[in-house]
Structure 1
Amino acid sequence: MILACFCFGIMGVFVKLGSKQFSISELVFYRCIAGLIGIFFAVLLQGKTLKVSFPVFKLHMTRCAAGFIALLLYFYAIVHLALPTAVTLSYTSPLFLTLISIFYLKNNPRPGQVAAILIGFVGVVILLKPTLESSQWLAGLMGLGSGLLSGVAYFNVNKLGQAGEPEWRTVFYFSLVSTLGAALLMALQDAPLTMLNFNNLWIVVGLGVSATIAQLGMTRAYSRGKTLAVASLAYLTVLFATLFAALLWDEQLSWPSYIAMSLIAACGILSSALKKSDYKNASG
């Protein structure tokens, strides 16, 4: 998970660097196609099947749609905000996942869940108000929307896991739909497509490789490790993003912003600690 967080931070750096030459849809396309190619060859070599029942296929498509739009919004936030701020707003997904779980399972929220929601909400308010200028509020809302839709995507990932779907098939369908969706947006964009050359190829390669390693590392961590420990380590992405932003662009945040990041991380860790027991109670 530490490797995954480091690579997610690197991915954010490449998104910010690439935004000077590529559109957001192009960046999403290159981010997703690398993982799609890699997992497609793994499927062929191991003789695995992509066939699923229609109800499970609908779950896959819901997860893919939410995840794809969340990725577009996340990249938009990275391009227009300080890297640590964009990453932190995207990591509000556990806050929204808790809310979605409460409404979907139709249970009265437990005190711990209420505490997590309040902590996360306070963190979001503190992070947005002192950090963003008036011209950056749209990007801030995009980052928050990324967290919301990521929560929807993760909720569907949980349901896919309960249906017995392997992680590799979930990642494959997400990569496929996101690649096709980004390709469609590239075809519809007004600006001409950016041609690859020796001056920008390294950005595309770095983006694809870092994103793929991060995705594989995260998937392995969640499948082999303890959920709470892995979810807690996930917030190292914010730390790495902060370090990279300071070193490369001299981006400095205020102390209230760091306090807000800590509150959002605490919300995520507490939500992860409570989530497993919620699904146990629902299945029982």
Structure 2
Amino acid sequence: MQQDKLGSGWMVVAAFFLTLMGAGVKTAGNRFGMHLYELVFWRMAAGVVILGGHALWHKRDFCTRYPKQHLWRSLAGTAALLLFFYGMLHLPLGTAVTLNYTSPFFLALLSVLLLKERPPLRVWLALSAGMAGVVVLLQPSFSAGQTWDALLCLASGAGAGYAYLKVRELSLLGEPAWRIVFYFSLTAAVVSAVAATAAGWHAPDWQSLPVLLGIGISATLGQLALTRAYHVGRKFTVSALSYLTVVLSALLGAAFFGETLGGWDVAGMILVILAGIAGSLR
């Protein structure tokens, strides 16, 4: 088998596309006035079509013996995604992405509380540093009167952490990755479509349609690149490079959306990034 020359570099590709997704969400909300339910639908519809079409083409089995576990994973992931999109629409892009990237800390905490795991001291130190970074990062949001927005976005990290816990459970039960992602995408698309119907849809036009399609396509490409990175790259290198999304999002927010980051913002981001990298050490 020929070795993948890009290797861990696939995470750089993933960070690029995931940052583009965030920019698309911000643009669609600010410029076209679209609410988060519509945006989540467009984000997940692409995954449903691509994964479902690929599974049908290869005649894969959609049936599962673990519908309850899929339901809990999918609902937790959907809630986390809705909260994350809310954060991107109401907070600086870099801040929203950083708060969402607290999911590894919540995953570690939930593993202790629910699974009674006993992580080493290094993980506890990384967890403490990460939470300290979150507290520092929240200070500017509290001062600007965005306490509720920031806490909701932080809750997206907690929801994602629980969703990853269920993903691990399903993986240990032998469920293939494509089926886990497909049912999550399908659930999120249905829930967001129902909510968007209740809130009211904005009909896409020639200006907004490219942005909406870009959200779905960039998110799907980013997810594929991320999966490839963890498959062929070095785990620690890939985990460290994943935080490039935070840096790119902050830079893009400043360059295109006029968002400014103060000293507390930067300090909090650095703490979260360093804690996340330390927690991924072998």
When normalised by structure 2's length, the TM-score is: 0.91
8 Å contact from structure 1 (residues 2, 236) kept in 2: yes
Matches within 5 A, 1:2-13: 2-13=12-23
**Structure 2 unaligned residues grouped into runs of 5+:** 1-10
Asked if structure 1 preserves the Cα contact closer than 8 Å seen for 2:139 and 2:264, the reply is no
Contact kept in structure 2, 1:70 and 1:146, CA below 8 Å: yes
Instruction: Report the equivalent of 1:219.
Output: 227
- Retained in 1: the 8 A contact 2:137–2:264? yes
Aligned length: 270
Indicate which of 249, 253, 265 corresponds to 1:241.
249
- Output the amino acid matched with 1:12: G
Rounded to whole Å, the distance in 1 between the matches of 2:19 and 2:87 is 14
Match status 1:23 vs 2:35: yes
Structure 1 residue 74: Cα displacement? 0.3
2:56 maps to 44
**Residue in structure 2 matched with residue 60 of structure 1 by the alignment:** 70
Determine the structure 1 residue equivalent to 2:240. 232
Question: What pairs up with 1:187-266 in 2 under 5 angstroms?
Answer: 187-189=197-199, 192-266=200-274
Gap change, CA 1:62 and 1:228, over 3 Å in 2: farther
Name the structure 1 match of 2:87. 77
Distance 1:195 1:270, change over 3 A: same
Structure 2 residue aligned with 1:177, among 187, 198, 217?
187
Paired with 2:22 and 2:222, the residues of 1 have a C-alpha distance of 11
For the residues of structure 1 that align with 2:245 and 2:67, how far apart are their CA atoms? Answer: 31
Gaps of at least 5 residues in structure 1 are 275-284
Q: Kindly provide the CA deviation profile for residues 90-118 of structure 1, in whole angstroms up to 9, marking residues without a partner as x.
A: 00111101101112231444311220121
Could you state the TM-score of these two structures normalised by the residue count of structure 1? 0.91
Alpha-carbon contact 2:104-2:276 (below 8 Å) kept: yes
Q: Is the 8 A contact 2:141 2:147 kept in 1?
A: no
Counterpart mapping for 1:79-118 below 5 A:
79-118=89-128
Question: Could you say what secondary structure the match of 2:145 adopts?
Answer: helix
